[in-house]
Amino acid sequence: MTTKPAAAAARATVYGYPRQGHNRELKKAIEGYWKGRVDAGTLRETAAGLRRSNWQELAEAGIHEVPTGDFSYYDHVLDTSVMVGAVPERHRAAVRADALDGYFAMARGTQDVAPLEMTKWFDTNYHYLVPELGPDTVFTADSGKQVAELKEALALGHTARPVLVGPVTYLLLAKPAPGVAAGFNPLTLLDRLLPVYAEVLADLRAAGAAWVQLDEPALVQDRTPAELNTVARAYRDLGAAADRPKLLIASYFGRLGEALPVLAKSPVEGLAVDFTETGGANLDDLAAVGGLPGKRLVAGVVNGRNIWINDYEKSLATLGTLLGLADRVDVAASCSLLHVPLDATAEREIDQRVARWLAFARQKTREISVLARGLAEGTGAITAELAANRADLASRAGSALTRDPAVRARTAAVTDADGRRSQPYARRTAAQRAHLALPPLPTTTIGSFPQTAELRTARADLRARRIDAAGYEERIKDEIREVLSFQEKAGLDVLVHGEPERNDMVQYFAEQLTGYLATQHGWVQSYGTRYVRPPVLAGDISRPEPMTVRWTTYAQSLTERPVKGMLTGPVTMLAWSFVRDDQPLGDTARQVALALRDEVDDLESAGTSVIQVDEPALRETLPLRAADRPAYLDWATESFRLTTGGVRPDTQIHTHMCYAEFGDIVQAIDDLDADVISLEAARSHMQVAGELAAHGYPREAGPGVYDIHSPRVPSAEETAALLRTGLEAIPAERLWVNPDCGLKTRGWPETRASLENLVAAAREIRAELAAEGS
């Protein structure tokens, strides 16, 4: 294929870049600040150094226009709330006293003040802080961060484009503030918000911005005619604003659909569109509306969410088609590169036959640059790159590393009966209650306990061979004994072993399954200073040997109380990995489910009576368009049932979900056929309990009463109040008492105090129920 040069030289750009630094310098500096070991000046210097390094890397890779404003101490949506003055009343005094400390208080809370609610950013594993708005909200512009970072980049000689969350997406992501009627629609605040955005845009133009990007990913979701009218009005007004820079409206994560003609007609100068995740729909839709005459089109043709190399010829074909549909076409990733690790060349332990298939953020910027050069100068300018790319793609397509005939034969033999329990829930629950003999409102935790510095040191010592495997296992056993002893003394009813041997709830299993590859430096931000290393799912999946049985049975040998077996479910194993893109996700999920089914069966055979299969990503992976959801939920729920369907009726199956909007998937939660589900509910004030009740959910549930993403310790009284709210929706015989999520990121002092208060609250409510029944 030969591509002629574009009429106007194509530019290479990105929408955002990983924030953490090559050695997670930002995480270390922020956590040092929280602990008092790093002062504010040093933190700001570290952040400024990382921004300079990022821009320099991008420029050296051939990126012509670098983003600014995408860098954040915690979350870019929280930054937007600060930019528009939407600081909740309870945090205003802290923000006035110290802007940085007040910022972190909104994100993490304090002992006296609750943080903002946190939930997933569309269908990714990134979490954002939910804006709290109400009819009395007054917006005021504060462009200080955005202007300062733009000036930094310009002073270094870069062509820079500030990136902001767009006003419509910001309002659509918001929730009514506490105390505001549930029916309040934040979108009604648009007329108040737009002048603030116009003021920020004017400030950025005065600071030297030629273009500003406004991110509107909410427009790839189903939107009502009224919402689309709001979009049209928003960009009509901003487009008409005086003294503004050129506007680039960016969408990503899917098809714009009915929003595309609205944006195409709006008086803005450019659109940025995702051409990687839509099966060609955005390309077809763009042609159908007559293209973007007179506008700039930034074409997202390099996948910003996965780590597989780009197919240059395919991307160039798309770009060639787009040349006839816009005034100029530039090249970008499909979304911010925040969602991928920094540099694949740092992964020296990955099989080199696989490493050639991988592209992290640095490699993706090079891909974007190569494609922009090919588009601008013709394919003759990138002959060597095209040849190397063809060879890499052919290597992957023909590799025996990706296919295991035995796994494929087993998956093909799966029947509907394999995914069904032998008895219905009503009969199972009677058997489980007789077997487990738990009190009303049974207490438990979600799985992990604090990962202490001593545990991390033990893992590092093992890797460095300062201790042998036997010495490491003794340290793990010591930790399990401590965790079990605390839980018994605290009075918890169903115990966990604390997962001291696990580095991560997905990576731990991935390292023991064939078909997965683990990275050493592939860190990706999940929220705040929490970074994860998603494994790479490159081939067919199987389980060579038991993964958790020895530690669960060891913990059970230390107590008479039931100890939960703890597994990560098949959907989450996919969602929190970088998954192969050469076969349907449902096929890969069944392979993972069968491997986990073997583990479930072995746990049960070893005497484990309660087995938890976590699926926190079930809602996160839900397609953004309603029409695409039934097919996804069919294979997602089927894979969970395939994992758990072989156990006896008296074995109790738990699942867990957190930090998502559960109302959209209540039927799917029901379809999992788990005996007990625990869900995040503390920050959302037990919202999910009402959603389960409204659906008529018939099984047992534990809406969380302890927000583990905040360092504050909820009192027994506060916890009891949440339980009373839960009891308004879920009857006592079906209500469990537990935290929102695992305790890995918390310290022991707050964990002990919080769980002791949790048990005290459960006992208080049990006594109240007993008194009512007497």
Q: Yes or no: say if 346 and 358 are a contact pair by the CB < 8 Å rule.
A: no
Predicted pLDDT of residue 513: 97
Q: Render pLDDT for 713-755 as a digit per residue (tens, 0 to 9).
A: 999 999 999 999 999 999 999 999 999 999 998 999 999 999 9
Predicted pLDDT of residue 599: 98
Structure tokens at 746: 């918390």
Number of helical (H) and strand (E) elements in the chain, helices listed first: 28, 21
Cα separation of 446 and 556, whole Å? 17
Q: Yes or no: say if 655 and 674 are a contact pair by the CB < 8 Å rule.
A: yes
Q: Nearest 5°: CA angle at 229, between 225 and 234? A: 150
Q: Render pLDDT for 194-250 as a digit per residue (tens, 0 to 9).
A: 999 999 999 999 999 999 999 999 999 999 999 999 999 999 999 999 899 999 999
Cα separation of 265 and 268, whole Å? 8
Q: Render pLDDT for 255-295 as a digit per residue (tens, 0 to 9).
A: 999 999 999 999 999 999 999 976 789 999 999 999 999 99
Structure tokens at 490: 């605290």
Predicted pLDDT of residue 452: 86
- H/E stretch holding 701 reads strand 700-703
Which residues are the active-site residues? 709
Residue 5 in this model has a pLDDT that exceeds 80:
no
Predicted pLDDT of residue 512: 96
Spatial CB neighbours of 687, under 8 Å, sequence gap ≥ 6: 663, 681
Q: Yes or no: say if 337 and 57 are a contact pair by the CB < 8 Å rule.
A: no
Spatial CB neighbours of 279, under 8 Å, sequence gap ≥ 6: none
3-state secondary structure (DSSP) of residue 222: coil
Burial tier of 402 (Cβ tally within 10 Å: 0-12, 13-18, 19+): middle
Residue 4 in this model has a pLDDT that exceeds 60:
no
Q: Yes or no: say if 95 and 103 are a contact pair by the CB < 8 Å rule.
A: yes
Cα separation of 318 and 303, whole Å? 14
Predicted pLDDT of residue 620: 87
Q: Nearest 5°: CA angle at 577, between 369 and 120? A: 90
Q: What is the average per-residue pLDDT within 50-72?
A: 98
Per the document, the length of the chain is 774
The per-residue DSSP string of 525-567 comes to EEETTEEE---EEEEEEE-SS-SSHHHHHHHHTT-SS-BEEEE
CA-closest candidate to residue 752, choices 528, 445, 500: 445
Spatial CB neighbours of 440, under 8 Å, sequence gap ≥ 6: 732, 733, 766, 769
Predicted pLDDT of residue 658: 83
CA-closest candidate to residue 753, choices 729, 721, 718: 718
Its pTM stands at: 0.91
The strand order across the sheet containing 536-542 reads 514-517, 536-542, 578-579
Q: Nearest 5°: CA angle at 316, between 354 and 311? A: 15
Between the alpha carbon of residue 773 and those of residues 434, 475, 721, the distances in Å are 21, 47, 20
Amino acid occupying residue 236: R
Torsion of CA 621, 622, 624, 625, to 10 degrees: 150
E strand intervals along 62-168: 66-68, 118-120, 127-129, 132-133, 160-165
Cα separation of 178 and 405, whole Å? 55
Q: Render pLDDT for 398-454 as a digit per residue (tens, 0 to 9).
A: 999 999 999 999 999 999 999 999 999 999 999 999 999 999 999 999 999 999 888
